[in-house]
Amino acid sequence: MAQYKVPQKELLFVLHDVLGVDRLAELPGLEEATGEIIDGVVDEAAKFVEGEIAPLRESADETGARWEDGEVILPEGMKEAYQRYAESGWVGLASPPEYGGQGLPYVLSKVVEEMLCGANVAFALYPGLTSSCFEAIEAVATDEIKARYLPKLGTGEWSGTMCLTEPQAGSDLAAVKTRATPNDDGSYSLEGMKIFITGGEHQMTDNIIHLVLARLPDAPAGIKGLSTFVVPKFLVNDDGSIGERNKLRCVSIEHKMGIHASSTCTMGFDGAQGWLVGEPNQGIQNMFIMMNLARIMVGFQGLGQCELATQNALAYAGERKQGKTFGGGDTIVDHPDVRRMLLTMRAYTEAGRVMALDTSMHVDIAHRHGDAAEREAAQDYVELMTPLVKAFLTDAAFELGSLAVQVYGGHGFIREHGIEQIIRDSKILALYEGTNGIQAMDLVRRKLQLHGGRLPDRFFERVRTDLDAGGPDWLVAPLREALEAVEATTRTFQDGFREDPNDAAYGCCDFLRAFALVALGHAWLRMVRAADDRGDAGFAEGKQVTAHHFATRLLPHAVTLCRTAALPAGPVMGRSASLLDAA
């Protein structure tokens, strides 16, 4: 079976040596986030995840969630593990103390999330969506609603969901039909159907709080007519106790390719009582508060799966004896093609971790720094990097899962080793919270244009400054070439000289990957320097070898990707009719 061990040394190296996370203790409200506290949290989380969560990964996948007469039954051990996780304070690690949380940095909660997602990504979805629901309510709800729901959500005693999708409204939320009719007491009655609701029904918590997109009777058509409502599974009395069952139910659950232990529900709202969250017809803006951080969360799900795939491929290759190597090695790790795959896996995983944690640390800075200019710059970085973190790391999870199967050979294809589960569990990550194609369009159509192009300009300047500070030529030269290619293609998209919007839409995924490769190259430049400064020759050598593989074999693809991203789409889009003709 596949094994997961928290990469504790690597995590602490990135946090302290590469990112300088200790400086967060200088921000208001994070004074207790010292290096000692951070190290202690990482250590305790590692023990919990390895001991409690990882052992459930394969057994929970085998059993899966099942639906019986409106109730969802989860695999054995899931409820008990969740309750211990919540009681230990992990759900509310970064939540404000006034709502039962520990008030620690957001980036530290993402470190724990990576661990959780490497150990058991299906389990991780339950506390992950709860935190996202908490964040949306905290941002826009009235004090009364906050007081009623956040203390139990913040500790994980209650769980949360996000109810957007409907059968006719997937990525196109303008087609949402769920209706919310005002009641005399200030509440609303919701009627409609929502699909693909992660954690929509289960027995792990006493209550489930649904954040639901719906339309008021007088709402304008389209996306501008959506409002947000908090709809609890059980109504909550004025004293905070749980009241009667609300008029909503789980109609069915999906039978999925992967994440079998996660209940993916179809929810029917049959006059369910809900309360408006935020202003009327501002629902999409409210949901995006939740969704943007949820997209970072999904990126960490991908990162966890990348780490799981890489760990197991490395371990297997170091033990498996097969064939003769050119250099006389005993195991397949010394076969050049296997070594290529393993270094690709390490290169993406280790640099992806820097990219994701750096983005998360900028969330803390954007929320807490005392200087408005610093907050603005940090928020620009978060806005720009969010589609990269989500799309690149989730694509990488699927790719690295496939590489892990390749390293294992036939043994990876059978279920006994638990490697094929990585592919099955990872594919959904590229689909939910906005498909990766949507992430690429967000990068090209919005993030490159926002504030007059300020976001990418600041990123390019940051990378250029680090390049000018020097480094090994085998890394600096290809990174500078890739940066120039991405910057030139950015200008192409920004200038808007193309008359056909299909051009950007057709090339955006290539462009996002090229942009991400530059971000990973920048991460490798920072890691190589930090490793050299550690005084650990063996550790530094490992970083040098992996960085060299990335710089010479992977990073140059950015230039080609930029070239294809800039091509016109007319020759292919103009022939769509013939493409659809029957053979």
Which residues participate in catalysis according to the annotation?
433
Q: What is the DSSP letter of 212?
A: E
Give CA 363 to chain center in angstroms. 14
N-to-C CA span, the chain: 44
Cα distance between residue 308 and residue 401, in whole Å: 9
Q: Which amino acid is at 140?
A: V
DSSP β-ladder status, 179-182 and 188-198: antiparallel
Q: What is the DSSP letter of 428?
A: G
Task: Indicate the SS3 state at residue 366.
Answer: helix
Q: Is 369 left (phi over 0), alpha (psi -120 to 50) or beta?
A: beta
User: In sequence order, which residues have a C-beta less than 8 Å from that of residue 238 and are 6 or more positions away?
Assistant: none
Contact between 57 and 252 under an 8 Å Cβ cutoff? The reply is no
Using alpha carbons, select from 173, 203, 187 the residue that is nearest to residue 78.
Answer: 203
456-470 residues labelled b (16+ CB within 10 A) or e (exposed): bbebbeebeebbeee
Cα distance between residue 177 and residue 169, in whole Å: 8
Task: Indicate the SS3 state at residue 117.
Answer: helix
Six token digits for residue 305: 């799966």
Using alpha carbons, select from 564, 565, 521 the residue that is nearest to residue 546.
Answer: 521
Cα distance between residue 571 and residue 568, in whole Å: 7
Contact between 532 and 470 under an 8 Å Cβ cutoff? The reply is no
Using alpha carbons, select from 523, 573, 572 the residue that is nearest to residue 551.
Answer: 523
Cα-flanking dihedrals φ and ψ of residue 331, to 5°?
-125, 170
Contact between 506 and 445 under an 8 Å Cβ cutoff? The reply is no
Q: Which amino acid is at 418?
A: G
Using alpha carbons, select from 230, 239, 193, 186 the residue that is nearest to residue 208.
Answer: 230
Instruction: Please report the sign of the dihedral spanned by the C-alpha atoms of residue 429, residue 435, residue 436, residue 442.
Output: negative
Give me the DSSP letters along 13-57. Answer: IIIIIIS-GGGGGGSTT-TT--HHHHHHHHHHHHHHIIIIIGGGH
Using alpha carbons, select from 25, 42, 43, 26 the residue that is nearest to residue 34.
Answer: 25
Cα distance between residue 196 and residue 191, in whole Å: 17
Q: Which amino acid is at 243?
A: G
Q: Which helix (H) or strand (E) holds 221?
A: none
Six token digits for residue 104: 């620690």
